[in-house]
């Protein structure tokens, strides 16, 4: 079984599938860039609208909802990796995840919220999903999304 098939099997075992309708970029930029073995995913979000955990942690959202939003953003990121690399077999591994969490001033649990993304990435991608991470609290994110993930990854050329 190739790596892409094993990822699909791990997703299926969790009752998940790769989304076909990935959120479109919110502006005039590419959703990913590949450059000499290093790739960059821009602003992976849970989605837009009322069913995608809009708002701020500590106000409209609980930690559990934030973790779910982060996991959904991570699932979308896996879908974007699949798109960028025409499958996942060329993925060597994630390098770094920068997580932005829309938060109230008195909310300090951004790392716990982003664990929803990190745990899904490691569970589904195995060792290739391990990564370093930075958590940024922000007062608001574009389009009222709660979570944005920026992901840097390594891949091998076709």
Q: What is the mean pLDDT of each run of 10 residues along the chain (158 residues)?
A: 96 95 93 98 95 96 98 98 98 98 98 98 98 98 97 94
Cβ atoms within 10 Å, residue 92: 13
Report the CATH number of the 3-17+37-155 domain: 3.30.1330.40
Give the contacts of 129 (CB within 8 A, at least 6 positions apart): 93, 94, 121, 122, 123
- pTM (2 decimals)? 0.97
- For the chain, the domains span 3-17+37-155
Kindly compute the dihedral angle of the four CA atoms of residues 110, 130, 70, 20, in this order, to the nearest 10 degrees: 160
pLDDT at residue 158, as a whole number: 76
Best CA proximity match to 32, nearest among 128, 121, 157, 153:
153
Give the contacts of 119 (CB within 8 A, at least 6 positions apart): 71
């Amino acid at each position: 079984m190739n790596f892409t098939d094993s990822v699909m099997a791990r997703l299926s075992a969790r009752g998940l599938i790769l989304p076909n309708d990935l959120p479109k970029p919110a502006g005039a930029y590419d959703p990913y860039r590949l450059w000499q073995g290093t790739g960059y995913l821009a602003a992976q979000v849970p989605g837009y609208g009322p069913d995608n955990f809009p708002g701020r942690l500590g106000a409209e959202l609980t930690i559990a909802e934030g973790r779910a939003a982060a996991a959904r953003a991570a699932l979308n990121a896996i879908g974007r990796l699949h798109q960028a690399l025409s499958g996942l077999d060329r993925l060597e591994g994630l390098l770094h995840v920068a997580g932005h969490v829309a938060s109230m001033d008195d909310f300090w649990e951004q790392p716990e919220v982003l664990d929803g993304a990190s745990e899904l990435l490691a569970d589904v991608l195995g060792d290739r999903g391990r990564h370093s991470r930075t958590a940024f609290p922000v007062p608001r994110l574009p389009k009222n999304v709660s979570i944005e993930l920026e992901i840097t990854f390594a891949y091998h050329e076709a």
